[in-house]
Structure formats: structure tokens, C-alpha cells
Structure 1
Amino acid sequence: MKLKDLIEALAGEIERARGQLEDSLVPLATLDADDPLFLDAWDQYSGHAQRLGEAAELVGFPGLQAVCTHVAQNCLLLTATPLDEREPLLQFLRGWPPLIVHYLHNLSDPSAAVGLIDHLVTAPDPLAEDESLKIMHMLGAMPLQVDGLGGDNDAAPRQVLATAEDVAVVWPDDIDARLVEGFQHEAPEQARYLVQLARNMASGQADSSDVVAAKRTAHTLKGSGAIIGLRGIASLGHHLEDILDHFESAGSQVARPAAEALLDAAFCLEQMVGHALGADEYPQQARSVLQTVLDIANRIDRGESLEEPLQRVAGPVAAEEPAARAAGAVATPAAGMRVSVQRIDELFRISGEVSVQSAAMEARLKTVVDASRQLLAQNLRVQKRLFELETLVDVRTLSTLRSRGSRRTGPGFDALELEQYSELHSTSHALVEEAADARALSMRLEEEIAQMGAVQAQQQRLTKDLQHLVIGTRMTEVSVLESRLQRNVRSTCQATGKDAALVLEGGETLIDGDVLGRLAEPLLHLLRNAVDHGLETPELRTALGKPAQGRILLQFSRQGQQVVLRCRDDGRGLDLPAIRRRAIERGLVPEDRMMPDEEVARLVLLPGFSTRDSVSEVSGRGVGMDVVHEWVRGMNGAIRITTQPGRGSTFELQFAASLSTVQSLVVEIDGQRFALPSVHVEQAVPRGVGRFDLVGGRLVYHHGGRVYPAHHLADATGLPRARDRGLDVHDAVLVRLDDKTHALAVEALLDARELLVKSPGRYARHARGVAGLSILGDGSVAVDLDLPQLLGTGTAREVPRAATAQAVARQELPGVLIVDDALTVRTALRQLVQDAGYHVEAARDGIEAIKCLQVFKPRLVLTDLEMPNMNGVELTAHLRGRGDMKEVPIIMITSRSQDKHRRMAREAGVDLYLTKPYNDAELLQAMREVIAG
């Protein structure tokens, strides 16, 4: 066997090098580090270790390569270690060559690998625990690798002719937006990398590492295309990967004709990816490129030479290209530009700051306008006083002149003659003129301020337009969740033996992407409960005169800045007597307490509450509705439940469309301003319209012929309440929490506006009842309140909540570990399995999966075969060697269908081997069967 011959050759090379290594250790043990002979010996020794590592890499054994790399790292210590302290280092360097030779001659003996790893761990520069674990698994997997690569390639017959459907690039109608996002994130860079590697092959500059990297990249692109449904990318990537696998196994340079074809295929794949993302045209040469790749792959399957020139396909194939191109262009999304989420968040933050500053400018401008008007009025008053002063000066002067004239003898000047006016007259006249000029300036200033106000109003409108546009970049239609929700309903029906149709209305409703991402899990729980608890079996529905197929209606609508979500089913409705009995059994409510139906229905929102006596993968743990309730509370939203026996139930959720901006009512208490989310506010009532009163020592509010329980907002927020302030001088805010209306007494109602909510910071984020902070137009800070938490109403107040209740319940869900190096595949599998009611963790490769197992104990492992660092076979071998994981079922999902790969997986301990593409329903059924044992 060629690979075993290479191992024997590598062992022989190390045996021959042992003498040279020993000779190099003599000067290393006796000479100072600055001696030229020492440096020459050090260079020879470390060079040997590095060359051995490179040889192991070329053979394809990363474990041996890592061993040699660690030896080379310890060699570096020689140059910095004093002569009298080198003995431990020299003992380590003497010991590793015979251990590697022993390991290579005894691959099937686990103790050989253990002895080598133990030596590395005790080195002066010891091997880290996680690194030693990684190398141990790579060394332990070498026997499987050797046996697996030596078998015959019993692949299924390969197609001969490429069709237009094989190269179509059409987005499926029910594509999940998260899969598209993952594809946009990783596929373009992978395609560019594949082109770079193919160029190296075509120019004759590629080595074996380039071939391995190209094969892995083609494998990832193929998997991404298959899981998303882009057939052209999946098909071309599949056959391209097989060709690269051949050249990797052969250990030779890629033949020139094949290399040229591989480069064409890489360019075609890159263009397909660009076309799928709306950034490039459809590759018209796609079908002819695929045909060439098929010809090469079939030559390989037949064992023919690849050195002869390839025959290019022409004629009929080229004639059908327009059809393939047209098909590929049907569902192509519009051209777009990739922008990081961090940049969008920063843009949103700046837009919010501009809005806040614009509001502050508006408030300051109002202050300036008021001051200008006051200044104008003051100028008028000053001018009036100056007129009075001028008149008084004239009267007094004339009076003085008359009295002087009566005492004079002889002729003199007339009292009105100019020469008789003094400097007082001049000063008073000058003051009058200055006052008139000042009034003219004030009027001009007022005109300028008015014009500035018009400019500011226009800027305010532009700022609002900018903010809405920026908010729009984060808004997503709720319809992107439809395929995931439909799949969730189907899988739940399969698990419960029921039949249901999900109808989505209002799918065009826009919601903040962050809100929508958080909404997915509560919606899945809501739909699972509707199927499992709400709908009857088809047989029972038929007996009751209902259609055999149940109907679940999911409605989305907008009311201002709020989103209203209604989930309605036509099932049996909530079993209110059973809910009440279970609540009494658990001590949640007294047996003699009278409860309206609405209050009984809300008991299903309690953590851990369930009317089921048995636990299944779908229900029985009391997790679902608690998750929904917690999400609604976290969104400062509201939830209402209505039910009719035999006709179904309706769960209505109301929450803000965006996490960043909230329509709020601003009130004031003791000089501090608070923002109340309008989703809870029913009415703001000024003083004098309603009436606060004390009844039996409890505060109530009379309004509209009804009496509401009331609270002082000052008491709830911990602010001092003026004891001398009468109840009649308080405004009231009617808020609805947990289907109950309460009245809040506040000192003042200030404003109702959309506020930008900011995090309160690490020191205040855990403060009870504080949802965030907002800056008002005048620069003051308003505290955004979480009213359900602040007032502790309804269900939250009746039952003490255990902080770990939900976490414990979540741990009871069957755990599944997903291991795959392709982000798109991981995302799709995570959603599928999680939507089916499992607790899911994911890892990129075997090493990351092993780290994950430190805190997560799965009931099932789903793994890919080909992954970097540690592949699926190596991971399986490791798990079967662990006491806590050797009985855990392992399902391998891969595109490799050859018998040699199946044999490798079976020998490693894989329970079930599935090939891509797989059927979702079959995979879920297989998971249930292997978990059930």
C-alpha cells in the first residue's frame, strides 16, 4: 500500500537521522550559546526537526507534523538556556526520535502514541493540555486513515452528460434568510480562494497543500450550495471535489489539461456565487465547464490518463446555455452591498445622536425665541421710560428758565431759545435715540431667529427622514421566518401524529432584525404548543365534525410603533379546569380562591407549569409558554390569552417594532423624568378629570365610572413623595399589565414622543424596573421604565420565580451536538434540530466539539466527515474512547457515498451514515429512533 510505504520511508528517514541528531547534541551540551560551533550544531538539529515536520505534512499526517513543530520550539530554548541548566532539555531532545520510530512501527498500539504525547507534555516547554489532546487524537486516527485510504473506490456510476438543470442557480421560494446571510458571508471569499489555488495549479506552482486546500474549499462550497438549494454550485463543486481528491490521493502534480479545466471551473463557481448574490452575470459557459469537469472525473473513474488534451464540448450544449441562464436569473435577488452589522449599529447610533441634538437645538431655539421676545418687550419698556425722562427734563428746564426770567431785569433770551438747553437735554435725547436703535436691532434679531427657526424645522424633518431610513436598514419583513415556522409545524405534527396547516398573514410587516431574531424561538414554542396542546388528532376532529387538518393562523400587524401578533388555532381550546387543578396541586393558588377565566388561562405562563403527566420531546416540561412570557416581558410588551372550549385559543402578543426607539409618555416625579412605554399606556388623565382616593388604606382611582387599583409612581421608583401634596393635585396614567388596568399617580404629564433608548450602563443595567435611558430635547435624562418588573404585577407577583427554572427545564431537553465546518450547513442543521424541540450546540470541527463537551452532555452527535483540525472519523474515535460518551449515538452526515468512507465511519463507531442531500423528515425520524435506542 502506497501510504504504508510512505510511513515506512518516514520511519527509516528518522532512523537514519538519529545518528546526526546525537552528534549535534554533543556541542549543544558543552559549548556556550555564542560559540560558532554551537550555533552550527543548533542549526543542524532544528533543521532536521523542521524537515521531518515538512515531510509529515506532505504525507498528510498533521499529528506528526505537530510533534516535530513542538520539538523545534524546544530547540529554541537552547540559545537562551545557561550551560549548567541544559540537561533536562537535552534529555528531552534525546528521547523523541526513538519514540516516533516506535509509534510509526506500531500504529495500532495506542500505548505508542500515549508514550510520545507523555514525552511532549514533560518537555521544558511543555505541550498545553488542549494541544496535547488535539495531537493525541490526530495520532490515534492514523490507523483508520491508513486503512481507509487503501480500499477500492466503489463509487456509484457518475453522470456522463451535463444538463441545463445541473447548472441552474435559482433561489428556492422558501429559502431561509439566515442561510442566505451565512452564504453571503462566507461563499464569495471561499470562491476567490478557490480561484487563487486553481491559478497555482494551472501555472504549475501548486504543491500538495494547495490541492488539499482546494478540495476542502470545493467541499464547503458544494455543501453550502446543496443546503441552500443552488444546484449549479452544488453539482459543479461535487465533481470538482472528486477530481481534487484523486490528485491528493495520487500525490502528484495536477496534469496540465486538468489544471486548466479546474481553473475554468473555479472561475465559473466564483461567477455563480456572484450571480446568486446579485453582483455578477450568470456564467454562460457553465454547462460546457461542467461537461469538461465530468469528462475528467469519468476518465479518473475509468483509470485513464489525464495528460492528453481534453475535447471541448460544443454545439448542442452551447445552444442550451440561454435556457440555463434564464432559469438562473428567475429568482436572483437585487444587487446589494455587504455592510457589517457593527457599521450599521454605529450608523444607527450616530443617527440617534443627531436626532437627540436636533431636539436639543429645537429646545434651545425656543428658549432664544422667548428671550428675544422678552428683550423686545423690555426695549419697549425702556423706551417708554426714556420718553418719560425726556418729557420730565423738558418740563423741569422750562420751569427753571421761567423762574430765572422773572428775576432778570432788562431784555434777555426767550425761554424756548436753543441757547438755554443744557447737556441734560442732549443726553436724554441721545438715550431716546439709542433705545430706538436697540429696538430696531431687537426686531431684526427676532426676524433672524424666526428664519433660523424655519431652517431648524426643515433640519428636524430631514433628521427624522434620516432616522427612519437608518431604522429601515435594520427592519426585516416577518415573512423571512415563514419557511422555518412551516417546517416547525410539520415536524411537530410528525412527532405528535397530527395534521395542521399554518397560514401566515401580514408577512410584509417590518420589524427590527434584532427583534425578529429574538422572536423566532418564542414563536416556535407558541406553534409547538398550538399543535400539541391545542389541535386534536385527525380522527377526533373528524368525529367532532371538524376538518381532519387543523388550522393555525399567525397574524402580524402594526399599530403605530407597536407590532401585534396573534396566534390562533381551531383546536379544543385551553382546558381551564385542568389548569386550575394543576395549579392547586402545586400550591400556586388556594383551593377556595375564585378566579376569572382570564386569570386561570394566564397560569400557563408560569415557569415549569404543564398539565401533562409525561414528558416528550414536544411538551411536558412547562418550558414553552414560559419562554414566550419571558420574551414578552423582556420586550416591555404585553400578552393576552382568550380561549373558547371546542373552538380554539388565541394568544395575542404586543411589543415594540424596534428595540432602539420606543414611543413613550414622559412624566415627572420629584424633578426626575420617567418614560413609560406606550404599549402599556391606555390613557393619560390630567388632574381634575378623575379622582384618587384611599379605601381601606389602599390607593384607588375613580375614572369613567370605574375604580382602578392605584400606585404612587414615586413609591415604586424609590423617590421621596411630598407628604403635604394632596391626592387631588396628581395626574393619572392608566396602564394595562397582565390583562389588568392600574392607575399611576404622577406629579406632571410632560410629553409623548418617540425616544431613543440607550443602555443604562453596567452599574445600572440590573436595577429593578429600569429598561434604559433616554436624552430629552432639553438635555435632561429620562429613565425608561420596565413597568411589569417595577410594579411586580400579575403572574410575576403571584408566584416567586426561580432564576434557574428555565435553565433547568432547558437542560431537560434532549441535547444534540452538531459538528460541521461549513457555516451554512451548521446554521441549517441547528435550525432544523432546534425547531424540532432539541437543545442544540454547534462546533466547527472535532477540536471545538471536544471543548464543547466540557459543559454540554448531548444525547446525540451529528457530524460531518471532512473537517479541518479533526475530522469526523477522528472525532468518533475519540468519543468511543471516552467513558462518558461511548454509548452516545453518532450520525455522520456527508456527501461522501463511497464504500471506503462508509467502512471508515463504521469501524470508528458511527451508528448511522447519511449522505447529502438528506430529507429533513427522514433525518428527524432517524434522530428520534437512535435516541430512543
Structure 2
Amino acid sequence: MRELDAELLDIFVEESGDLLDHSDGLLARLREEPGEREPVVGLQRNLHTIKGGARMAGIMAIGELGHAMESLLESVVEQRCELGRDGVPLLERGFDRLHSMVSRIGERRAVALPERLIEEFDARSRGESASASADATPGVGEASAPPPAAKVELAPLSAPIGDDPAFDDDTQVRAPQEQVRIRADLLDRLVNYAGEVAIYRARLEQQLGAFRGAMGEMEQTNMRLRDQLRRLDIETEAQIIARFQREGDTGDASFDPLELDRFSNLQQLSRALGESAADLASLQGTLDDLTRQYETLLTQQSRVSSELQEGLMRTRMVPFDSLVPRLRRVVRQAAQETGKQVQLKLDGAQGELDRNVLERMTAPLEHMLRNAVAHGLETPEQRRGANKGEEGTVRIAVRREGSEVVLEVADDGRGLDRGAIRRRAEQRGLVRPDAVLTNSALDAMIFEPGFSTADEVSRLAGRGVGMDVVASEVRQLGGSLDIATRKHEGTTFTLRLPQTLAVTQSVFVRIGETSFAVPIASVRGVGRISREELAAPGAVYSYGGDEYALHDLGQLVGQPRVRAEGQLQVPLLLVGAGELRAAVAVDQIIGNREIVVKPVGPQVASVPGIFGATIMGDGSVRVILDVAPLVRRQAALPREAEPAPMQERRQVPLVMVVDDSVTMRKVTGRVLERHNFEVVTAKDGVDALERLDERVPDLMLLDIEMPRMDGYELATQMKADGRLRSVPIVMITSRTGEKHRQRAFEIGVERYLGKPYQENELMRNVYELLGMERAGA
């Protein structure tokens, strides 16, 4: 091996690996249709390429075996001999040996010439199937005849291995495309960089939104300024006219013309202020135009960035069928070593998975397939006795359900032996003899480290290593593993894994003071429901012809139940995954946006329901929830085990500040936020009523003089509304006269403060009206 060109070896290993994987699909087609010419020609072409590459790289052992196999196929194509009933198993043994030899070359290990296997192919090529292949017939008594080194090389398949012909047809006709290979770590870094670009874009969008809001406030301020200047101009002219009239009536000849100049200067100053206001409006228009241009550019950048991220993510997605040849070999080897006849079937293998998920699930899938053959399926004699076909079936199904990837590994064997599981669990001290266990708890015992019901240790069973590794890997990926088994009918293992995405659209919801993101792939819609319907036992929500079971997100995540304070109806997030349909109640649905999914580490990822985390535009972190596992977990709990509802008052009171002055709103809002209050603002009475339709505050701070609807009118409407009547109102105004104060109290206002207010006085009234203890008091 040292004398060979390392670079040439790497190229050969890469090329031959792809050719062998493709040949595996052709073998499956050949088994389904033995007389088909096309797969034979395809196999011959692949073997010719492998043979030439091996000889060019100096690996003569692979070249000789490839030549012998190609000669057999050439004889079949030219009809000099027939492949025969046992010809396909012989080819499978040959390709399995080629796989093994190529793997050893990749590890820089020497390979020996498989002389006996080559002799079998040569004999078959000469049409000597009866004599030359007799020793290769599957059987139990053959094992001790050959030397130990040759035993593994020559051990034949005990049974045919089939596959889904539709899948292989699709694999065969797949058009070749030019490909380039890059290092996986480089691709991962590029995906991370694209995610960082999305985070910065989100921050830009947030800041631009804040700038747009400030521009709106500036427009309102300019409108008030122009109105005040018009009134000042009118008042100035009125005073000048009145002064002339007074001077004319009295006939005072001592009228000083300079006084007229003084009024004229005041008028000129008023007009100069008007011109400045017009210039300010022009500047505002320019800023508006620039803002629109920035928004357009940001939208274009967002589109390009999204396409870049999607393209990078597509490069990380690999088809599941790239793993199929390896899984077929695992099943063939397990069948050979156990003397069982096995057929492997595939469903949805064309689906794509994230490369990282597929790589981490390869070993667990191999464990499960070996386990299905060794423990699940019966021997041909046992299957005949159970009125089953001699050939057992192992099925792998791959599908997407919402934001999850679902892998099913099923067999039609004997099912789990719960009696044997119970006995072994008692022997190991895992359960007490008098303990009462449910079937699901008993089935889950096979995931315990070192647990095995096999009486004898073999290469495939008895060591207790396998299913615990599978369960551990699934947990680290943030997935779940379920078992469904029926005696004499088989066992199905269902693996649910989060679909790894770098960028996704998510819906943001709020529970109490915490907000979460939910991937939009699992969201079917949103809705609302009355509190009475939500509280009814066994209630469901109908949407789009489906019935959704009602759940409380607060209860699902271990927080207080949803209260949705101030809302007549409770918001619902409609979630669907596979057959699951759930209407999850939340306090508020904030909206949806594009987010970058960040990993949270194996410790947190193993917690059911946590999909990942994301960084918001302001730098804060939000947890991304996968709601479906949370719903399944709660549904599996017995009624007495469900967490008791936590009745809590809203921890942070909500205060609405209504004032037409931007400065007053900001100053008052900051004062309240310093004292840990949640603040929502409105610029006048009409704006406040619109916000009151969405949320009802715990307290209202209200100005009197405002456009569209003043404070008196708003307070009157609130006190006449049964939903808003109990909200305490504090009026803060520059109108401190007794007449204004008396009218406010007649309406029902609780407190009346003048501007400018003292912070201590304001907060004392706020705490008193809310019945709260002031911190540090």
C-alpha cells in the first residue's frame, strides 16, 4: 500500500464507492426481474469502470475480482450462459466483497485476492453452475468446511433480498449532473455566515421600522407646529388690527410708529417660523423618500439573502437513498449470519434529509436493522409453523410531518416478548417483582443500557449494546422514539427527528411574560375561541374540516395557564404533524418573521419540544418550540399525572399612556419601565380605543387635550363599557383648574395630576390604584 499513489487511491475510492452504490440498485432490479437485460448491462459497465480504475491505481485484487464478475455478465449478455436462480445471490456476494475491499483501501489497509470467489465466477461463466457452485449453496453445515479466513469471504446469503422496484427505477433514470465536492466544515461555516447575515438584516429591519415610526411622529409634530403657527399668525394680525382701531377711536396723535414696527416684527417672525416649518416638512419628505428607497433595497437584499440561504441549505440536504445500499448490505449480512430469509422494503427513500442528521442516524439505523433480523424475525421453519411466508420483511419508511422527519423501521416478525423482557428486567433489578408496569413502560425497558433478552452472545445479539445507543442518539438530536408491537405480527419503531434548518419562517407567541417561536411548517392556521368553550371538558376546535384537540401552551411548557387578559376571546395556534391536530391556546400571537435557527447544545436539545433557539434583532434570545412532541407527551400522561394549573396574576402590570405629546409618552413610559411595568402607548383617544380592542390594561394614564378624541370623551366611553369600566384612570394634564378636575371626577376618573408631575407622586398613585406594594417602601 505504501508504494501506491495516495491521491490516486482517494480518487479511486470515491469513484468506485459511487459506482457500487449505483450497482446495488441495479442488483435489486435484477432480483425482481431476472430476465431484464438493462440492469445486467448497467452492472457490466460499472464493473468495467471499477476494474479499469483498480488496475490503474495498482489494486490488482479488486481488478481481478471485477474482471471475473464482468466476464460472467458478459457471458450472460452474449447468451453463452444463464445467470440462473442462484446467480443474483452470487453477484450480491461479489459486490459485497468489492464494497469491503474498497473500504479497506480507503483505510489504507491491504486486501487479499479472493481466489475462491473468483473461481466461482469463472466456473459460472463457463456454464459449470452445477459443479462449481455447489459448495456455495446456502446452508448451515458449510460453516466449518473452509478455513476461518475464507469463511467470512465465502459465506453466502441465506435468502434473497428484495427492494422497492419503483425506487430503483427512479434511481436508474436519474440524470447525471456535474458535481463538485467541498469539505463539510466549509459548507457548515458558509451556512452559519448566511445565518449571521440574516440576523444583521433583521436588526436593520427593526431599526428601519423604528426610524419609520419616528418619522410618523415627526409628521404629527409638524402638523401640530403648522397649526400652531397658523393660529399665531391669525392672532398677530388680530392684535394689529385691534390696536389700529383703538388708536383711531381715541385719536391719540402721540402714537409711536415704532410700536407698529414691533407688531410688524412679530408678524415677520411668525411668517419666518412658518417658512422654517415648511422647510422642515420638505426635509421630512426627503427623509421619507430615502426611507422608502432603503426599504426597497433591504427587501431586495432580503430576497437575495433568502435565496442564498436556501441554496446553501439545499447543498446540505442529501437523499436518503444514498444510505440505502449500506442498509441493504447490513440486512444481507444479518440474514446470512442468522440463516433467515429477509426482504428489505423502502418507502419514501427519495426524500432528503439534512446531512448532519443522516450521518448521525446511520449507526442507529444499522443497529435497528440488525436487531429486527436477529430478534424480530423468525427462522423459515418458525414462520412456516406460524402460517407465514418463509421470507420475512423489514420495512423502512421516511416522511416529513410538519417540522419533523419521521423514520419508521418495521418488521413482520414475532413482536416483542414482554414476558422475557419482564423476567430479564427483574433479574437485573430494574423493576420489582410486584411492580405493575404498563405495556409502554415494559417495551421501553429495551432502551436500558446493557439490556438484552438473548440467551447466547453472537455477533448480532446478546451483548446488550444497540437499542440504548439508538435511544441516546435520538435524544441528543432532540427527537423521540416510540414502539408499537403486536404479538406474532411484528414491531414498529418510530423515530421523530427535528428537521435541521438554518433559516425558517416562524410564528411568535407569548405566554405570560415569555415569548416563543414556533416553526411555521407545523402551523396550520390561527384562530380564536371563547373562554367558556376553552374551559369545557373534551372540547375541540373545528378548522378546515378537521377537529383540533384543545391544549394550553402554558401547561405544556410548565408555566401558568393561558389568561389572555383583556381579550374577549383566547388566541389559538393550530398545529398539525402527521395525524396529530392540536389547537394550542396562547396569551398573544405576536406575528411571524424569518429567523435563524441556532443549536442549543445536547443538554437542552434533549428536552422534548425544544427545536432550537434564535437571536432577535435586539440581541435577545428566543427558544424555538416544536409543539407536537409537547402535545404527544401530555396526551400520554395519565389524568392524575397532568400538572396542576398554576393560577397567577399577571406578574408585570400593563399600563397604557395616552397623550398627544411624543415627549410625554416617552418620558412617562421610561418612568414606568424603570419600575418594571409593561407600557403601551396611544397618541389620542381614537388610537387608544383601537388598542383597547386588543388588550385591556391594568391602569390608564390619560391626557385631556388631544386631537380626534379628548381625554374626557375617552374616559366617558370606558366607564360606559362593561369590559373597561374597572380600569383605573389617572388624568395627567396642564388643566389644573377646579372646573376641569370636577368634571373628571364626575366621569369616574380615580386620580387627577397636573403637568409637570413628580415621579414619586405619580408612582405612589399607580401603586395605590393597583393595590401593589412599592419596592423599597
Q: Residues 542 and 548 of structure 1 are in contact (CA less than 8 Å); yes or no, is this contact kept in structure 2?
A: yes
Q: For residues 155-178 of structure 1, give each alpha carbon's deviation from its aligned partner in whole angstroms, at most 9, with x where no partner exists.
A: xxxxxxxxxxxx99984766359x
3-state SS in 2 of match to 1:646: coil
3-state SS in 2 of match to 1:546: coil
Distance 1:169 1:732 in 2: 52
1:232 equivalent in alignment to 2:52: yes
State the partner residue of 2:499.
657
Compared with structure 1, are the counterparts of its residues 662 and 646 closer, same or farther at alpha carbon in structure 2 (3 Å cutoff)? farther
Q: For residues 694-749 of structure 1, give each alpha carbon's deviation from its aligned partner in whole angstroms, at most 9, with x where no partner exists.
A: x9xxxx99765968698658867xxx999999999997889999x99999997655
Q: Residues 599 and 612 of structure 2 are in contact (CA less than 8 Å); yes or no, is this contact kept in structure 1?
A: yes
Q: For residues 320-371 of structure 1, give each alpha carbon's deviation from its aligned partner in whole angstroms, at most 9, with x where no partner exists.
A: xxxxxxxxxx999755444333322221221111111112222222222222
State the partner residue of 1:500.
342
Report 1:683-694 matches (<5 A).
none
Letter of the structure 2 residue corresponding to residue 434 of structure 1: S
Q: Residues 175 and 228 of structure 1 are in contact (CA less than 8 Å); yes or no, is this contact kept in structure 2?
A: no
Alpha-carbon shift at residue 446 of structure 1 (Å): 2.1
Q: For residues 103-133 of structure 1, give each alpha carbon's deviation from its aligned partner in whole angstroms, at most 9, with x where no partner exists.
A: xxxxxxxxxxxxxxxxxxxxxxxxxxxxxxx
Alpha-carbon shift at residue 466 of structure 1 (Å): 0.3
State the partner residue of 1:623.
465
Compared with structure 1, are the counterparts of its residues 508 and 735 closer, same or farther at alpha carbon in structure 2 (3 Å cutoff)? closer
Distance 1:726 1:612 in 2: 62
The partner residue of 2:475 within 633, 645, 668 is 633
Distance 1:592 1:728 in 2: 49
Alpha-carbon shift at residue 492 of structure 1 (Å): 1.1
Distance 2:358 2:320 in 1: 7
Distance 1:533 1:679 in 2: 37
1:400 equivalent in alignment to 2:400: no
Distance 2:337 2:290 in 1: 73
Q: Residues 711 and 744 of structure 1 are in contact (CA less than 8 Å); yes or no, is this contact kept in structure 2?
A: no
1:472 equivalent in alignment to 2:314: yes
Compared with structure 1, are the counterparts of its residues 613 and 405 closer, same or farther at alpha carbon in structure 2 (3 Å cutoff)? farther
Compared with structure 1, are the counterparts of its residues 627 and 675 closer, same or farther at alpha carbon in structure 2 (3 Å cutoff)? farther
The partner residue of 1:571 within 413, 420, 424 is 413
Alpha-carbon shift at residue 439 of structure 1 (Å): 2.1
Alpha-carbon shift at residue 548 of structure 1 (Å): 1.8
Compared with structure 1, are the counterparts of its residues 469 and 682 closer, same or farther at alpha carbon in structure 2 (3 Å cutoff)? closer
Distance 1:519 1:332 in 2: 28
State the partner residue of 2:368.
526
Distance 1:498 1:491 in 2: 10
Compared with structure 1, are the counterparts of its residues 707 and 380 closer, same or farther at alpha carbon in structure 2 (3 Å cutoff)? closer
Compared with structure 1, are the counterparts of its residues 771 and 567 closer, same or farther at alpha carbon in structure 2 (3 Å cutoff)? closer
Letter of the structure 2 residue corresponding to residue 396 of structure 1: Q
Alpha-carbon shift at residue 478 of structure 1 (Å): 1.3
Q: Residues 450 and 468 of structure 2 are in contact (CA less than 8 Å); yes or no, is this contact kept in structure 1?
A: yes
Alpha-carbon shift at residue 423 of structure 1 (Å): 1.0
1:340 equivalent in alignment to 2:152: no
Q: Residues 497 and 537 of structure 1 are in contact (CA less than 8 Å); yes or no, is this contact kept in structure 2?
A: yes
Q: Residues 638 and 653 of structure 1 are in contact (CA less than 8 Å); yes or no, is this contact kept in structure 2?
A: yes
Compared with structure 1, are the counterparts of its residues 535 and 752 closer, same or farther at alpha carbon in structure 2 (3 Å cutoff)? farther
The partner residue of 1:175 within 20, 26, 32 is 20
1:446 equivalent in alignment to 2:288: yes
Alpha-carbon shift at residue 505 of structure 1 (Å): 2.8
Report 1:791-806 matches (<5 A).
none
3-state SS in 2 of match to 1:557: strand
Letter of the structure 2 residue corresponding to residue 519 of structure 1: M
Letter of the structure 2 residue corresponding to residue 498 of structure 1: K
1:488 equivalent in alignment to 2:330: yes
Q: For residues 883-908 of structure 1, give each alpha carbon's deviation from its aligned partner in whole angstroms, at most 9, with x where no partner exists.
A: xxxxxxxxxxxxxxxxxxxxxxxxxx
Q: Percent identity?
A: 33
Most deviating of 552-561 and 448-457: 552-561
State the partner residue of 1:289.
none
The partner residue of 1:455 within 289, 293, 297 is 297
3-state SS in 1 of match to 2:323: helix
Compared with structure 1, are the counterparts of its residues 759 and 168 closer, same or farther at alpha carbon in structure 2 (3 Å cutoff)? closer
The partner residue of 2:395 within 550, 553, 557 is 553
Q: Residues 552 and 561 of structure 2 are in contact (CA less than 8 Å); yes or no, is this contact kept in structure 1?
A: no
Distance 2:518 2:411 in 1: 33
- Structure of higher RCO (CA pairs closer than 8 Å, 6+ residues apart): 1
Letter of the structure 2 residue corresponding to residue 779 of structure 1: G
State the partner residue of 2:234.
391
The partner residue of 2:620 within 763, 780, 784 is 780
Q: For residues 214-244 of structure 1, give each alpha carbon's deviation from its aligned partner in whole angstroms, at most 9, with x where no partner exists.
A: xxxxxxxxxxxx9998212322444899xxx
1:361 equivalent in alignment to 2:204: yes
Distance 2:401 2:605 in 1: 29
State the partner residue of 1:375.
218
Alpha-carbon shift at residue 490 of structure 1 (Å): 0.9
State the partner residue of 1:48.
none
Q: For residues 474-525 of structure 1, give each alpha carbon's deviation from its aligned partner in whole angstroms, at most 9, with x where no partner exists.
A: 2211111111100111111122221111122323322222211101011111
Compared with structure 1, are the counterparts of its residues 168 and 773 closer, same or farther at alpha carbon in structure 2 (3 Å cutoff)? closer
State the partner residue of 1:879.
none
3-state SS in 2 of match to 1:623: coil
Q: For residues 653-680 of structure 1, give each alpha carbon's deviation from its aligned partner in whole angstroms, at most 9, with x where no partner exists.
A: 2223326557765455675554567899
The partner residue of 2:268 within 426, 431, 436 is 426
Q: Residues 168 and 230 of structure 1 are in contact (CA less than 8 Å); yes or no, is this contact kept in structure 2?
A: no
Distance 1:516 1:453 in 2: 40
Q: Residues 569 and 649 of structure 1 are in contact (CA less than 8 Å); yes or no, is this contact kept in structure 2?
A: yes
3-state SS in 2 of match to 1:571: coil
State the partner residue of 1:863.
none
Q: Residues 403 and 499 of structure 2 are in contact (CA less than 8 Å); yes or no, is this contact kept in structure 1?
A: yes
TM-score scaled by length of structure 2? 0.51
Q: Residues 551 and 585 of structure 2 are in contact (CA less than 8 Å); yes or no, is this contact kept in structure 1?
A: no
3-state SS in 2 of match to 1:528: helix
Compared with structure 1, are the counterparts of its residues 690 and 375 closer, same or farther at alpha carbon in structure 2 (3 Å cutoff)? farther
Distance 1:765 1:672 in 2: 19
State the partner residue of 2:158.
none
3-state SS in 1 of match to 2:484: strand
Alpha-carbon shift at residue 634 of structure 1 (Å): 1.5
Count of residue pairs the alignment pairs up: 487
Letter of the structure 2 residue corresponding to residue 469 of structure 1: G
3-state SS in 1 of match to 2:201: helix
Compared with structure 1, are the counterparts of its residues 660 and 686 closer, same or farther at alpha carbon in structure 2 (3 Å cutoff)? same
Distance 2:408 2:382 in 1: 25
1:756 equivalent in alignment to 2:601: no
Alpha-carbon shift at residue 471 of structure 1 (Å): 1.6
Q: Residues 480 and 497 of structure 2 are in contact (CA less than 8 Å); yes or no, is this contact kept in structure 1?
A: yes
Distance 1:529 1:763 in 2: 28
Stretches of structure 1 lacking an aligned partner (at least 5 in a row): 1-59, 61-166, 180-225, 242-272, 274-329, 799-933
Q: Residues 568 and 649 of structure 1 are in contact (CA less than 8 Å); yes or no, is this contact kept in structure 2?
A: yes
Distance 2:632 2:264 in 1: 81
